[in-house]
């Protein structure tokens, strides 16, 4: 029995809600949500913030930061701040749309596989295993290279490849939900599969699916920067990945124009950091591990006994 068992039993008595609350109280989730919210607000209101297309030339090439252009200009003489604001929309759209595609495919595969088991499970998991082994990023690059450079294509490509871990995660969860008493009871009183899946199983796995989708957003945004960097992005659109590509292509390095290189990467990093922190905190709170490690450089303390505690 684990040494922290009394503490664990204590938390257990308070119910799961407490674990979720403690995760919510942690700084990780709050920071993550704050960053994500800030970027989303910027993305949604970018048409209002920007008076014209961000790619418009407003100054010299690689103009250093100044009062007029807080982050200077890029290799095309466009204002960096405006580009970043416009890029937020595209990057977030790609991230969320691709993540939703992935979550839909992965969720469906996981649900069917875990719920029906048997041959369906074997077949779907086989397929998942194969997709898992195919190197994802190169495949995306190849498909993007072959099928053209549009935003929809990129979203579909990313979505169609990143569903495997979701499928496995959901499958495992569904398998355990399926064995719970109320699901068995529902089946015993003759509820149909569709009804059981939508009424009993889906609500149980939905939170996990949401947490996982947030993690997928991070992966998808990452993938978009890969694809775009290799010149396979949608040529009409400005995304953060595109800004990194532009900086590289336009020789920002030779011009030592750090303001064209650093900010878009910082944005991507912050957003991915935020999604990872949110997704991880949510997953942890849904799947609480209350085990206490038995070793640490710190040790248990000795306490002198005062009279109050000494009952004898």
Partner 1 sequence: MSAPLLRVETLHVWFELAGGGELHAVRGIDFELAVGERFGLVGESGCGKTTAILALMGLLPPNASVAGRVVLDGEDILARGEDSVSPHRWRDIAMVFQGAMNAFNPVRRIGDQIVEPMELHRVAEGKEAHRRAAELLELVGIARNRIESYPHELSGGMRQRAAIAMALACKPKLVLADEPTTALDVMVQAQILNLLVSLSEELGLALVLVTHDLPVVAQTCGRTAVMYAGRIAEAGPLDALYHDPRHPYTRLLFATTPDLFEQREVVSIPGVPPRLDREPAGCAFAPRCDSAFAPCASVTPRALIVGDGRTAECHLNDPAARAAS
Partner 2 sequence: MGRGDYIAKRVGFALITVLVAITLNFVLFRAIPGDAVSALRCRQCTAAFKEFQRQELGLDKSKWEQYRLYLADLAHGDLGRSLRTERSVASELWAPIRNTLPMVALGTFFSILLGVAAGVVSAWRRGTIVDRGTLYTGLGFYSMPPQWLGLLMVLYVSGWLGLPTSGVKDPILGILGDASTWDVVVDRLEHMVLPSLTLGLVLLGEYALITRSAMLETLGEDYALTARAKGLSNWAVVRRHGLRNALLPVVTLVALSLGFIIGGAITIEYVFSYPGIGLAIVEAIDKRDFPVLQGAFLLLTLSVIAFNLLADLLYFKLDPRVTT
Closest CA relative to residue 231, chosen from 252, 251, 246, 250: 246
Nearer to partner 2, 148 or 203 (CB): 148
Torsion of CA 99, 101, 103, 107, to 10 degrees: -170
- φ, ψ of residue 96 to 5 degrees: the values are -70, -45
**Which residue stretch of 49-57, 72-80, 169-177, 292-300 sits at the interface with partner 1 (rule: CB under 8 A)?**
292-300
Distance separating alpha carbons of residues 249 and 231, to the nearest angstrom:
10
Does 203 help bind partner 2 (rule: CB under 8 A)? no
Does 289 help bind partner 1 (rule: CB under 8 A)? no
Does 90 help bind partner 2 (rule: CB under 8 A)? no
- CB of residue 26 to partner 1, shortest distance in Å: 10
Angle, CA of 292, 297 and 298, to the nearest 5°: 70
- CB of residue 269 to partner 2, shortest distance in Å: 5
In sequence order, the 6+-apart residues with CB closer than 8 A to the CB of 262 are none
| CB 141 within 8 Å of CB 232 | yes
Nearer to partner 1, 1 or 146 (CB): 1
State the maximum Cα–Cα separation within the chain, in Å, rounded to a whole number: 85
Binding mask 216-255 for partner 2 (x = CB under 8 A): --x---x--xx--xxxx--------x--x--xx----x--
Does 295 help bind partner 2 (rule: CB under 8 A)? yes
Does 122 help bind partner 2 (rule: CB under 8 A)? no
In sequence order, the 6+-apart residues with CB closer than 8 A to the CB of 146 are none
In sequence order, the 6+-apart residues with CB closer than 8 A to the CB of 219 are 99, 158, 162
Does 292 help bind partner 2 (rule: CB under 8 A)? yes
SS3 call for 312: coil
Does 236 help bind partner 1 (rule: CB under 8 A)? no
148 binds, among partner 1, partner 2, none (CB under 5 to 8 A by kind): partner 2
| CB 103 within 8 Å of CB 212 | yes
Does 136 help bind partner 2 (rule: CB under 8 A)? yes
| Among 67, 190, 293, 307, contact with partner 1 (rule: CB under 8 A) | 293
- The residue ranges that bind partner 1 (CB under 8 A) are 1, 3-7, 9-10, 13, 22, 292-294, 296, 298-305, 309-312
- The residue ranges that bind partner 2 (CB under 8 A) are 1-3, 129-130, 132-143, 145-148, 218, 222, 225-226, 229-232, 241, 244, 247-248, 253, 256, 258, 261-262, 264-265, 268-270, 272-273, 276-277, 289, 291-298
């Amino acid at each position: 029995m684990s040494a922290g068992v009394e503490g664990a039993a204590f938390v257990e008595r308070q119910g799961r809600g407490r674990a979720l609350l403690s995760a919510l109280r942690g700084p990780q989730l709050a920071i993550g949500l704050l960053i994500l919210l800030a970027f989303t607000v910027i993305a949604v209101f970018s048409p209002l913030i920007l008076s014209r297309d961000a790619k418009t030339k407003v100054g010299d090439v690689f103009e250093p930061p100044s009062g007029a252009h807080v982050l200077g200009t890029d290799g095309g003489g466009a204002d960096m701040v405006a580009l970043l604001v416009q890029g937020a929309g595209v990057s977030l759209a790609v991230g969320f749309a691709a993540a939703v595609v992935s979550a839909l495919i992965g969720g469906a595969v996981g649900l069917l596989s875990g719920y029906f088991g048997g041959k369906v499970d074997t077949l779907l998991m086989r397929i998942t295993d194969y997709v898992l082994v195919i190197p994802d990023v190169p495949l995306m690059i190849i498909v993007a290279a072959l099928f053209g450079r549009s935003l929809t294509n990129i979203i579909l490509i990313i979505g169609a490849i990143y569903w495997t871990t979701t499928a496995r995660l959901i499958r495992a969860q569904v398998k355990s939900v399926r064995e719970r008493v109320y699901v068995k009871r529902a089946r015993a009183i003759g509820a149909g599969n569709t009804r059981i899946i939508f009424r009993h199983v889906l609500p149980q796995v939905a939170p996990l699916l949401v947490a996982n989708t947030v993690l997928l957003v991070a992966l998808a945004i990452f993938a978009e920067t890969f694809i775009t960097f290799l010149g396979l992005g949608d040529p009409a659109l400005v995304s953060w990945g595109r800004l990194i590509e532009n900086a590289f292509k336009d020789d920002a390095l030779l011009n030592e124009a750090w303001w064209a290189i650093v900010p878009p990467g910082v944005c991507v990093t912050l957003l991915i950091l935020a999604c990872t922190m949110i997704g991880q905190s949510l997953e942890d709170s849904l799947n609480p591990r209350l085990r206490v490690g038995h070793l640490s450089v710190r040790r248990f303390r000795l306490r002198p006994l005062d009279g109050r505690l000494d009952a004898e």
